[in-house]
Amino acid sequence: MGLLANRVAIVTGASKGIGRVTSQIFAREGARVVCVARSAHLVKETAALAQQDGGEALAVTADLGTEDGAKAMVAETMKAFGRLDCLINNAGDSGPTQPIQDYALEDWLYTLNSCLTSSYLCARFAVPPMIESGGGSIVNISSMAGRRGLAHRVGYCSAKAGQLGMTYGLAVELGRHNIRVNAIAPGAVEGDRVDRVLTAQAELRGIPAEAIRKAFLARSPLRRMVTPEDVASAALFLCSDLARNVSGQCLPVNAGEPST
């Protein structure tokens, strides 16, 4: 039996990267996984990959920055599986790389909506069925950017810091229902998203992208970025009984990168 046998887990932002890998690992560990994203064809690919690993998976297309989208996600989960045990709040956009004087209000609101408001809405609608199931685990995928900040990334930093505040508040509120709430703060995660951010930073500063990458790596004592598998493995731990007394915590997965 796997670490998540007989549990039902929602993984948001499951079209690729951390969300896709988490869906696969959770399915491998026995969970029935609800893979959620805005892109129908990509989330269907993720569900198919999870099923290839021997698990059971459902693909749901939804805009989680809206009440209707978050509510429908939970409703489809309950219709298919009748319970909910785990929620991985991974959905969110990286937002623009701009100095504050050029950071448009519409970009600010979009970034907060996609990262923070979506997490709030998913938790809001996931909590009642978790209570009915006797408890559960919510894991918010935050970022080291929410702990120490990054230049020209004010929207993303603010949204990810907000996820941490939500984590701590919900952990206190929901403990009496046997619902644990934790966060993961990844450092730079290898993939297309970090490549886009590094390129944008390099263009803004007028220096080569490789110089920005080296500066990111220099922050880490291990001199490397983390992988989606690293983050997914941490989420697996936090949702399993191995972490049954872990709540209200932020777990950095950052190759030793300092928090400040």
What average pLDDT does this structure show over 110-126?
98
- pLDDT exceeds cutoff 80 at 215: no
Out of 14-23, 48-57, 61-70, least confident range: 48-57
pLDDT at 260: 59
What average pLDDT does this structure show over 177-185?
98
Contact 181, 235 (CB under 8 A): no
- pLDDT exceeds cutoff 70 at 115: yes
pTM: 0.93
What average pLDDT does this structure show over 136-148?
95
Residues in a beta bridge with 250: 183
How do residues 182-209 score in pLDDT, each as one tens digit?
999 998 888 777 777 777 776 777 787 7
Catalytic residue numbers, as ranges: 156
Nearest to 175 by CA among 110, 245, 117: 245
Going by pLDDT thresholds of 50, 70 and 90, the confidence category of residue 140 is very high
What average pLDDT does this structure show over 135-161?
95
Phi, psi of 10 (to 5 degrees): -95, 130
Out of 16-20, 56-60, 190-194, least confident range: 190-194
How do residues 246-259 score in pLDDT, each as one tens digit?
999 999 999 888 76
pLDDT at 259: 66
User: Structural domains in the chain?
Assistant: 8-188+227-253 (3.40.50.720), 190-225 (no CATH)
Encoded tokens for 220: 């880490």
- pLDDT exceeds cutoff 80 at 98: yes
C-alpha distances in Å from residue 140, one per residue of 31, 37, 79, 181, 185:
18, 16, 24, 8, 9
- How far apart (Å, rounded) are the C-alpha atoms in residues 192 and 207? 20
DSSP state of 116: I
